[in-house]
Amino acid sequence: MATALPKAKLVIGDRQLDSGSRGTIEHINTTTGQAQGEIPLAGPSDVDAAVAAARAALPAWRDMKPFDRAVILQRFAAMVEDNAERFAKISVVENGIPRTSWAGMWPRIVGWTRYYAGWADKIEGLVTSTWPNDHFEYTVPEPYGVIAHIITWNAPMLSLAMKVPPSLAAGNTVVIKPAEFTPFSAQLFVELALEAGVPPGVINVVPGAVEAGEALVRNPGVDKISFTGGPVGARAIMRSAAETLKPCVFELGGKSANLVFPDADLAEVVPYSVGFAFSNSGQGCAIPTRAMVHEDIYDQFLEMAQATIEQLPYGDPANDDVLVGPMVNQVAYNRVQAMIEEARSSKAGRFLTGGQAVGETGHFVEPTLIADVDPNSEIAQKEVFGPVLCAFKFRTEDEAVELANATEYGLSAYVQTHDLDVAQRMVRRLHAGTVYVNQAGPAYSAGSPFGGLGNSGFGREGGKAGLEEFIRIKGVGMSIRV
């Protein structure tokens, strides 16, 4: 496994540095709990140098013919696709993503990278007025400039694919700050971009802790911030960004509800609900961690879900049959275990299975099902980000909607019914940025916008809306001599 990890570096302009101004930290293998390799940590001086490199590279990249930029990005997308196995091995060791979860993630990663490569030469302005005869007005789309991408640790490669390609397609340059313990996907991603012909300085990478992120946000050379993480981090970024009035786009946490109506086919719904809830070991923002089931089928759902969960294969994420791997690190493991124990001690619900630490090495948590959960409990309200599924019973549509919307989050929601009227009513009433009906998602389709409401963030990633996050519109009025 050790050979699957590239050497982590800072990438600043045309330089690749083995160490940062804040030294190095050990990378801990999530499966074994053992140290494996070193990660350089960027400090404020490194971040400032990366932003300066991005600004220096901006004019040439911005002014390149869009067709030429598209050719480079299409070549880059092909190289990403050709390196599927390298990225898979890195992800398994980097943060413990099971290969089964990766298999579902990978087509989306390739899709996002290819999709935005195709947009580079199709960005258009509009003629907005042609009256009177001696005057007309139009719009000019322009890149923001330098974009700071602060990416998540739970699926760094997916986060990169959702953020960086649209930024580059629009003519921006970027500085990427991976989480300090998961920089390896970004390292290979940038190496391939440079090999594909993206000029040095257009993409820069500064792995680092909170200090590096703060320096990036505060730097006046950064024009916009794109952040995937939690509400606490987002609020800190907004406070710092306010100093220079930087716009932000945030993709934050979730506590997604999965509403199962009595006409749903449980033979389909239960495997979907369980498999999805425990994919990537529960470490996903859009995962449906709250199963809200109609009272007529509630007991049957629980019986089937418990049996399915108790058969879930967990263990080494490198094994092709494992669905549930380890938590990303000791901190995450401790947090998940603490939330489970709090739910148990406060009698927040009825534990049907799981809830224990497993294994003598690594950061493994047993897949857990809790029934009859108190909607006001911590386990019902806060994002666990681990292998825990909470079940609730409802009687009416109104009660289902009230339960589903009773959190601070609003990222995704799921509806299982064959009644089109019910589905349409739920789509309109659920407080979520995206609603998926009948095992439809999340597809993370490159052509569809994805994002949240409330404490799940604002702005969109995906589709034309995701591209437009990195474009500014300039209005022009022009008089004509007639």
Amino acid (1-letter code) at residue 121: D
Distances (CA, A) of 76 to 189, 191, 426: 9, 10, 40
| Distance between CA atoms of residues 229 and 231, nearest Å | 7
What is the phi/psi pair of residue 49, to 5°? -65, -40
341 included as an active-site residue: no
* Contacting residues for 44 by C-beta, under 8 A, at least 6 apart: 21, 211, 212, 215
| Distance between CA atoms of residues 234 and 221, nearest Å | 20
Sheet strands side by side (includes 135-143): 127-129, 135-143, 471-479
H or E, element range at 303: helix 298-310
Distances (CA, A) of 290 to 97, 377, 380, 384, 405: 22, 13, 8, 11, 11
- Cβ burial 295-319 (10 Å sphere, 16+ → b, else e): eebbeebbebbbebbeebebbbbbe
Q: CA angle, corner 354, sides to 352 and 360, nearest 5?
A: 165
The label of the residue with tokens 């794109």 reads: 226
Q: Which of 251, 366, 383, 469 is catalytic?
A: 251
| Distance between CA atoms of residues 52 and 221, nearest Å | 7
| Distance between CA atoms of residues 202 and 59, nearest Å | 10
Count the alpha carbons within 13 Å of 425 in the hemisphere toward its beta carbon.
13
- Cα diameter, the chain: 84
H or E, element range at 139: strand 135-143
The catalytic residue positions are 251
